[in-house]
Amino acid sequence: MYCPRCGAEYHEGIESCADCRVALVEKRPTPAHDEAEWVDLITVLTTDEESQLKVVRSLLEAEGIPCYVQGEVAEETLPVGRLGVQVQVRPQDAESARELLAAKDLLFTGPDEPVEDDEA
Ligand SMILES: [Zn+2]
């Protein structure tokens, strides 16, 4: 038996986690291995244009490159204007993704950075 919250293992017969006070489950909760896979994502494009995002996504998918769009949710929940989204891929896909985008003139633009005057 396993605690679904903290993942602690308990002997058969125990029904709730002593720490979390939640009912145990029979299956070990799978640590989100999907997330681990995406730990070191590389941003290949930043855009605030939905049409461009769609193009990029379909391009990457057509090449079998899984991509993750960072910022989609934030865009909806944050009241502070449109932040733009970052299209991210796994490190091993970054090079081919960039080549793919470069070929379509969709180069990595990076997050907008304010131009600072360094005249101090
Ligand atoms: Zn627990």
Tens digits of residue pLDDT in 5-34: 888 899 989 999 999 999 999 887 765 555
Q: Considering the domain boundaries, does residue 44 fall inside one? A: yes
pTM tops 0.85, yes or no: no
Query: Of all residues in the chain, what percent carry a pLDDT higher than 90?
Result: 23
Q: Cα of 25 to ligand 1 centre, how many Å?
A: 11
Residues 24 and 39 in one domain: no
Residues 46-92: pLDDT tens digits?
887 778 888 888 989 999 999 888 775 544 554 444 567 788 898 89
Whole-number CA gyration radius for the chain: 21
15 and 2 inside one domain: yes
Does 114 reside within a domain?
Answer: no
* C-alpha to C-alpha distances, 47 to 13, 18, 25, 34, 110, nearest whole angstrom: 54, 47, 43, 25, 9
We report the CATH number of the domain holding residue 60 as 3.30.70.1530
In the reported structure, the alpha carbon of residue 115 is separated from the centroid of ligand 1 by a whole-number distance in angstroms of 49
Residue 111 CA to ligand 1 centre (angstroms) = 40
Q: Residue 90 Cα, ligand 1 centroid: separation in angstroms?
A: 32
Dist. CA 13 → ligand 1 center (Å): 15
Q: What is the pLDDT of residue 110?
A: 52
| Domain contains 71 | yes
Q: What total of structural domains would you count in the chain?
A: 2
Domain containing 16 equals: 1-30
Distance in Å, CA 44 to ligand 1 centroid: 39
* Same structural domain, 57 and 84: yes
Same domain flag for 26 and 55: no
Cα–ligand 1 centroid distance for 17 (angstroms): 5
Residue 112 placed within a domain: no
3-class SS of residue 95: helix
